Chains A and B, each alone.
Chain A
Amino acid sequence: GYLDEQFIQLEELQDDANPDFVEEIVTSYYTDSVRLIQNIDQALAKYPFDFEKLDNYMHQFKGSSSSIGAKKVVLECSQFRKYCAAGIAEGCVKTFQMIKQEHAMLRKKLETYFQMLSSAGGT
């Protein structure tokens, strides 16, 4: 429910030459997305909102999220951008909370997932 077929594709890309490919990607994603989230947080701390800037950040965040198949995060990102376009500050703030939530949730799920994988692989 949290991921889409893009994630599956990533798994398919993983091969012997790169056994930890998916995990590396996810790690990369979280490293980078933390930075983006910080940027957005900062932007949201300033009034009035610079919607253009917000949209720009969110765009990056969305692109990044979509590349790992973080479906729910992406959905929220789209919503956020709609609010940006409409200039609805409240919507942005609210949606961003959702995004962070989904983002964190997914992270947990993925961590669990990778742990399972490695333990499974180990045995």
Chain B
Amino acid sequence: MNLGGGLMGSMAMPSSTVSRKSSEVVTADQFPVGLRVLVVDDDPTCLTILEKMLRTCRYEVTKTNRAEHALNMLRENKNGFDVVISDVHMPDMDGFKLLEQVGLEMDLPVIMMSADDSKQVVMKGVTHGACDYLIKPVRIEALKNIWQHVVRKKKYEYNKDVEQSGSWDEGDRQLKHDDAVSSPANDGSWKNSKRKSGEDDEADDKDDTTTLKKPRVVWSVELHQQFVAAVNQLGIDKAVPKKILELMNVPGLTRENVASHLQKYRLYLRRLSGVSQHQGGLNSSFMPQDPSFSTMSSLGGIDLQTLAATGQLSAQTLAAYTRLPPTIKPGISMPFVDQRNLFSFENSKLRYGDGQQSQISNVSKQMNLLHGFPTTMEPKQLAVLNQSAQTLGSMNMQANASSSHQSSSLLMQQMVPQQRGHISNESISSQVPRIQPSVGQPLQSNGNANAVLSRNGIPYDPVNQSASVVDFSVNHIPELPGNSFPLGSTPGITSITSKGFNQEEIGSDIKVSRGFVGSYDMFSELQHKPQEWQMQNPNMGFAGSSQHVPSVQSGVNVAPSIMVNQSYVSGQKNEQNGHSMAGKPMYSAGLENQHMGMQNVNQNYNSIHVNNSSRVKAESVSDVVNLGANLFDYSPEDMLSTIMLKQQEGIGSGDFDFDGYTLDNIPV
């Protein structure tokens, strides 16, 4: 049969850089032409017709009538195909089995087809991860569009990688954290991250050469079944390689083999869950499966995490809004939030550095802090904000919930961007002249936000290959007397692949840093209660959402923070907004991206943060980060200017008022 030989122009992936490859593939000129399709169907007639149709579409077609054969071809040449089209009913291997194996091993988009159009079968395809389901007779019109799955998958993978790595790391980390909080853990996590990133590659089908060569276990269907049985027996949350290995009791299988497979399996599950979530719309769902999630909660420290995948878009804008709680008690409120953002790249291993905080040192960058306290808000503004905030909030929530899920979060992100774009526009529009709704796609920003109480940083490791993950951790100090704030300094660490980052410190306590990688995220955090924080990450550069804390308990209030990031082209500068005070965002690092410069632009701080005094005003800080990483080429123009809103208002002594928004737009 025809093995599609080389990739054709556009498809050829330059195996080059890890991170960019997908975009390159996608953006190639003649794109769909030369798409390498593997068709599997036991029916020779159908197979011949499909082959003809696909060739008519100018794809590179490889056909086989046996699923096993298809699987072997895929295994032997992991990078040899872009998409698989498989019949459901085949004598040698059920199409769904093939689908599952492909999902586990190479993560290629798989399109199922069958003459059976019953809902159950179609659903089965969806739940097993099929990216499409074609009813026979397959029409050429349907085949003309299959390239979209390839593009989607690439994008998605990109995001996913990021997230997944992030979330996994978290999980791992936390576990480690429990065991050994201190530095020693670093090594471990590192390795994990490394290993993971390697695996991710593998899973993603690229660059697998190095990692794959090791002792390799072929996960046959039977072996996989044993594995699944073991995992199910243990429970997905509790399944650890060692135990699985014990249960499987297969000679020659090592813990590493199992660990690797487990990761893929989790990935696979996430992907599936993502699918379902996707269907469900934005429901906030927490996936039970999230190991990381549960662990997090157990830690108590972190409530939410959000991972956003970021991405590919070069410019992103994040705007965050903050809201203020309508009623705040006088005298009190201090929000403080420490946030940290970590961005990690692959390169940087932020993760634990030495200590938790020490981590920061490693990385650079970003933080966003926002505090808002407002004693008084203006209703209208708030209202507007609120809505947006809510919507964002909800979005975020989901994101958070799903944090552990890669897929879900990814989906979220993708979905979200647009909405946010709108939202931001709406809410901000008046204030901000330009926001562009199109945010593009932020594809890959990842943000993890963690809020931790009384803890300072929690490191996350996001391991992304390409993507950067941002973590936020927020610390809260419940105990503060009303007036005091803890402003913790927040360390932000971000590592960005792009390498630019900004750090700023604002006021004595707060720092803001930004990192961008290709993409950036904003977060707003809110706290309702001391313990709980909500984080939001908007990914995609969008405005971060703000959150409200309606009532704070006597102790603390939190103000929402807003961050906005904008990406700039490197050329740009940072701007400050009038309000911005002490903190200034400065700088931008443009690194790799030519396009992107990072900047923080507006930050307005109402320095309040800085003030310890009882009066604080709401502050919103926004950071905008834009990341340059664009997978797609976007021109800087795409980037949106970021806007920040802040509200501040007079500060009464004792009270805060806050209404200010500052928005900045930065035209790029």
Contact = CB atoms under 8 A, between A and B. Distances in A.
A99 B52 CA distance: 27
A117 B148 CA distance: 38
Given A56-B89, A60-B43, A60-B89, A66 B52 contact: no
A112 B116 CA distance: 31
Interface string A1-39: 000001001100101001001001100110111000000
Nearest to B138: A67
A39 to B, nearest CB: 11
A63 B115 contact: yes
A28 B136 contact: no
A32 B140 contact: no
Contacts of B44: 28, 31-32
B116 A67 contact: no
Contacts of B137: 6, 66-69
B116 to A, nearest CB: 6
Contacts of B140: 9, 13
Given A60-B89, A66-B136, A25 B48 contact: yes
Contacts of A66: 115, 136-137
A67 B46 CA distance: 6
B201 interface: no
Contacts of B52: 13, 18, 21, 25
B139 A6 contact: yes
Contacts, number: 61
B139 A64 contact: no
A79 to B, nearest CB: 14
A66 B116 CA distance: 11
A64 B45 contact: yes
A101 B369 CA distance: 77
B45 A32 contact: yes
B378 interface: no
Contacts of B89: 56, 59-60, 63
Interface SS of chain A: helix, strand, loop or mixed? helix
Interface in A84-116: none
Contact of B87 (A9, A31, A56, A63): A63
A95 B140 CA distance: 31
B56 interface: yes
A62 interface: yes
Nearest to B90: A60
B657 to A, nearest CB: 69
B132 interface: no
B234 interface: no
Nearest to B53: A13
Interface in A44-75: 56, 59-60, 62-64, 66-69
Interface string B27-59: 000000000000000111110110011001000
B114 interface: yes
B45 A67 contact: yes
B488 to A, nearest CB: 64
Contacts of A63: 43, 46, 87, 89, 114-116, 136
Nearest to B141: A9
Contacts of B139: 6, 9
Given A56-B89, A59-B116, A63-B136, A32 B48 contact: no
A11 to B, nearest CB: 11
Contacts of A21: 52
Given A66-B137, A67-B136, A67-B137, A10 B115 contact: no
Contacts of B136: 63, 66-67
A12 B46 CA distance: 16
Contact of A10 (B43, B49, B116): B49
A69 B46 CA distance: 11
Nearest to A27: B45
A56 to B, nearest CB: 7
Contacts of B56: 13, 15
B225 to A, nearest CB: 22
Contacts of A18: 52
Nearest to B139: A9
Contact of A24 (B46, B48, B53, B116): B48
Contacts of B46: 63-64, 67
Contacts of B114: 59, 63
Nearest to A81: B116
Nearest to A58: B115
Contacts of A64: 43, 45-46
B122 to A, nearest CB: 14
Nearest to A66: B137
Nearest to B42: A60
A25 B56 CA distance: 15
Interface in B88-107: 89
A24 B51 CA distance: 13
Interface of A: 6, 9-10, 13, 15, 18, 21, 24-25, 28-29, 31-33, 56, 59-60, 62-64, 66-69
Give 10 closest A-B pairs by Cβ, nearest first: A63-B115, A66-B137, A29-B45, A6-B137, A67-B46, A67-B137, A28-B45, A63-B136, A62-B115, A64-B43
7 contacts: A6-B137, A9-B140, A59-B89, A60-B43, A63-B114, A67-B49, A69-B137
Interface of B: 42-46, 48-49, 52-53, 56, 87, 89, 114-116, 136-140
